Structure 1
């Protein structure tokens, strides 16, 4: 269990440049960190408030001071990931041309191929669990992917595509990438991620492998 979580911490560090595994002195932050971990390792539905409190070393009675319901805590976890996505994407070669920024995005994903093959993608797993949740949480399922699609789409639009075509290209780009994470996890083979990224660089960005 601890090894699997260390892989998630590694994933978060590679993507955002900031590790999320350090225990915070802020009880609210510790609760969110533990929820991020347990929602990925155990699943959203199987994780109780009591389990999160125990992992965060916070008395269960104190949880409700910060989060009145489990739904409130789930929303905080989604917000946590949205902020991390924004920080990560904004930091990828901000002064470079769109193609190089997209390549940097792919390279960041490639650096975590072993993590995806070992523990899967936390964002994909959370989106699945949210989609299967009650009506109040299900709409959150698409927010993280939508944030990434929007960023990718803006970069494709900056290459000269119209907005509609840029969005279609962005969805296909992200679907290929996230599909490789899922297949790599199913087959325990990180090479699947590298193969898909090489194909995206070649077909979506026009970069030949080994030429950059």
Structure 2
């Protein structure tokens, strides 16, 4: 690996962790350099501004989502893929209860400024929504239904992450993900029976 690329990756990874744990506004470049075990002066070679670092963190999260969705796409059916997405929240419930969802937290903070960073951050949600909508479409729902179900699913996952974080209660995520898994099964049965969900 190129040493320059390696250092940039270390800084981005450190920033992603710190932003998740502390929030973007509370994360300093000095914090990032310390976690990455690199001199503070060196960070400016890779990231001239804190906004540039935020963009790199967002791109990293997009890559993480890409990798996850690519893995889920290997599952045999749309319902299995959607249920596996829900299960990711169940598996990550302890860390999400501590710090919130890494995607939702980042988007929430960066969207406040309504500047270029909010546009970059919005890609995280548009990506998840588009994929989820496609899965519902493949499951046989109309375009309108698929869009509605996708919005409901992602909103529920993000909402429970926020509630669990506020309460410090990982069991809340477990409860909601079980409910959503049952909801997906119900939708599947309704679709098979020719009903409208």
Query: Which residue in the other structure is 1:156 paired with?
Result: 136
Q: 1:134 to 1:95 in 2, by over 3 A?
A: closer
Query: Which residue in the other structure is 2:92 paired with?
Result: 112
**Counterparts of residues 97-136 of structure 1 (less than 5 Å):** 97-133=77-113, 135-136=115-116
- Tell me the secondary structure at the aligned position of residue 53 of structure 2: helix
- On the 8 A contact 2:83/2:184 being kept in 1, the answer is no
- On the 8 A contact 1:154/1:166 being kept in 2, the answer is yes
| Distance in 2 of aligned mates of 1:138 and 1:119 | 20
Query: Which residue in the other structure is 1:52 paired with?
Result: 32
Q: 1:95 to 1:43 in 2, by over 3 A?
A: closer
1:134: Cα distance to partner? 5.8
| Distance in 2 of aligned mates of 1:117 and 1:45 | 20
- Tell me the secondary structure at the aligned position of residue 205 of structure 1: helix
Moved more, 75-84 or 62-71: 62-71
1:49: Cα distance to partner? 1.8
Q: Does 1:184 align with 2:167?
A: no
Moved more, 144-153 or 197-206: 197-206
- On the 8 A contact 2:106/2:121 being kept in 1, the answer is yes
Gaps of 5+ in 1: 1-24
- On the 8 A contact 1:53/1:59 being kept in 2, the answer is yes
Show CA shifts across 1:144-196 (max 9, x none). 11111111110000011222321121011111111111111111222211221
| Distance in 2 of aligned mates of 1:112 and 1:70 | 28
| Distance in 2 of aligned mates of 1:156 and 1:37 | 32
Query: Structure 2 length as normaliser, TM-score?
Result: 0.85
Query: Structure 1 length as normaliser, TM-score?
Result: 0.80
- On the 8 A contact 2:79/2:184 being kept in 1, the answer is no
Gaps of 5+ in 2: 189-197
Question: Where is the helix percentage greater, Structure 1 or Structure 2?
Answer: 2
1:136: Cα distance to partner? 2.2
- Tell me the secondary structure at the aligned position of residue 116 of structure 2: coil
| Distance in 1 of aligned mates of 2:48 and 2:121 | 21
Q: Could you say what the CA RMSD is over the residues aligned between the two structures, in angstroms?
A: 2.1
**Counterparts of residues 64-103 of structure 1 (less than 5 Å):** 64-92=44-72, 94-103=74-83
- On the 8 A contact 2:97/2:169 being kept in 1, the answer is yes
